[in-house]
Amino acid sequence: MTRQRILAVAAALFAERGYRATSMQEIADRVGITKAALYYHFAAKEDVLHELTGPVLDELEQALNEAEAAGDPETVRWRAIEAFLDVHLRHRDTLLMLVRDMTLLVQAPVADRFRAAIALANTLVSGPRPALAQRVRAAQVVAGLADPVVLFRDVPPARLRRLILDGVRTLLAAEDPAAGGVPEPGTPRRAGGRPAALTAADAQEVRRLRETGRLGVDELADRYGVSRATIYRVLKTR
């Protein structure tokens, strides 16, 4: 119990003051124990950091490895995107702590694992044999998954997840304007209401999510901002 209390207090202090600006004495004082008692549980401040970041890195690496094993490039891409986002949403406080003290992502030993995870996510999102444009777009997508989690940390996770994935779909749809991506300048937009159709990539993802039983028709319609009839048409079309 004391060990978990130490970790919770340390995470709060690191997020509030920064890792390097927080001393072991301050952690002990906030927990309400002596410094000697703190050192009984953790030999150094670095050990506290490793225990706080370890679960995030373990989950992130496992989730991306599972996504990579999916086979189909489009399925790999979306599983990687959702896995990367979900891990960050589950560990918002730790992510905030790291961003609060950016030197941790550059100099600390954990930095190598974070960089490797981000590099793998970029590779999975960009797909096989990507051109430079696809690699740049993938980097934009991956960065756009983590940054809003910190910037909008007061937004409920479910709502923020939906909004972030909406933005990702917009970015990726722009890769193929013929599939309904971002229109060319000057193209008239539909006035209000829900979109009349889904992009080819979204349609494929809708079928996958429905077949796996992860989402119902109403949830899919809400997630993609279309009518239930549109979802039913996509599910009947192969």
Q: What's the pLDDT tens digit per position in 192-211?
A: 344 456 787 888 888 888 88
Distance CA 95, CA 109 (A): 16
Mean pLDDT to the nearest integer, 155-180? 81
Q: What's the pLDDT tens digit per position in 117-167?
A: 999 999 999 988 889 999 999 999 999 998 899 889 899 999 999 999 999
Q: Is the pLDDT of residue 177 over 60?
A: no
Widest CA span in the chain? 69
Q: What is the pLDDT of residue 35?
A: 94
Q: Is the pLDDT of residue 185 over 70?
A: no
Q: Using 50, 70 and 90 to split pLDDT, how confident is the model at 222? A: confident
Mean pLDDT to the nearest integer, 84-90? 95
Q: Using 50, 70 and 90 to split pLDDT, how confident is the model at 29? A: very high
Q: How far is CA 190 from CA 6, 182, 200, 213, 220, in A?
A: 55, 13, 19, 32, 21
Distance CA 37, CA 223 (A): 50
Q: Is the pLDDT of residue 50 over 80?
A: yes
Q: What is the pLDDT of residue 234?
A: 78
Q: What is the pLDDT of residue 62?
A: 94
- Alpha helices for the chain (secondary structure H): 2-17, 24-31, 35-41, 45-68, 73-90, 92-100, 110-126, 132-151, 157-173, 200-211, 217-224, 228-236
Q: Is the pLDDT of residue 180 over 50?
A: no
Q: What is the pTM of this model?
A: 0.66
Distance CA 223, CA 96 (A): 27
